[in-house]
Amino acid sequence: MSVKIRLQRHGSKGKPFFHIVVADARARRDGRFIEKLGTYNPITNPATIDLNVDSAVKWLNNGAQPTDTARAILSYKGALYKKHLQGGVAKGAFDEAEAEKRFAAWVDAKDAKVQGKVEGLSTAKSDAKKAALEAEAKVNQARIDAAAKAEADAKAAEEAANAPAEEIATEETATEEPTAEAEGTEETQA
């Protein structure tokens, strides 16, 4: 019987969620399986992978063949590296304690790298939010300034409209007074 380590799709349309399973190669994709090794959620950034590394290594040593995507996931979580280290122990290159120490160091480095990515994404998100707020504040300030300028222009236009009417009224009264005086002087001369 040919055994595969593969993904079993769950989740709704457009929101996939996968179980990592060991199954007979002849079984349907979402059908019967022998053992569930973990889960994989590609929606999150970075993708969330929960994997039982020891069970995966056991199945790899027993001859289970991972699919391409499952191989990438096993490599990402270190199952293939742990299998490689166990091969070194079997050949006598180093002992089991050294293999565990190397694997723990690799896992710590990998976790630090993933944590760095998470922090980088959160920093980028907060920077983008801050830039958007600054841009919005700038647009709002420009809108307030434009409204204030329009109000000042309207007030100046209103004052300009009122000012000539007052000047015309004062000019008319000023021109009428000399004519009255001129008429008065003409009457006295006649």
pLDDT tens digits for range 82-140: 999 999 999 988 899 999 999 999 999 999 999 999 899 889 989 999 999 999 999 99
Instruction: Kindly list the distances between the CA atom of residue 36 and the CA atoms of 7, 69, 135, in Å, as whole numbers in the listed order.
Output: 10, 16, 49
What phi and psi, each to the nearest 5 degrees, are found at residue 10?
A: -135, 180
pLDDT value at residue 98: 92
pLDDT value at residue 155: 86
Residue 5: closest CA among 19, 21, 18: 21
pLDDT value at residue 167: 61
Q: Verify cis geometry, omega within 30 degrees of 0, for the bond prior to 178.
A: no
Q: What share of the chain is helix, strand, coil (3-state, %, to 5)?
A: 65, 15, 15
Q: What percent of the chain has pLDDT over 70?
A: 85
Residue 30 pLDDT grade (very low, low, confident, very high; cuts 50, 70, 90): confident
Using DSSP, state whether 177 is helix, strand or coil: helix
- The span from the CA of 190 to the CA of 136, in Å, is 81
Residue 159 has which token pair? Answer: 């004052």
pLDDT value at residue 15: 95
What phi and psi, each to the nearest 5 degrees, are found at residue 103?
A: -65, -40
End-to-end CA distance of the chain: 142
Q: What percent of the chain has pLDDT over 90?
A: 63
In sequence order, which residues have a C-beta less than 8 Å from that of residue 104 and are 6 or more positions away? none
Q: Which residues pair with 36 in a beta bridge?
A: 21
Contact indicator for 18, 9 with CB cutoff of 8 Å: yes
What predicted TM-score, i.e. pTM, was given to this entire model?
0.67
Instruction: Kindly list the distances between the CA atom of residue 57 and the CA atoms of 26, 28, 117, 133, in Å, as whole numbers in the listed order.
Output: 22, 23, 27, 50
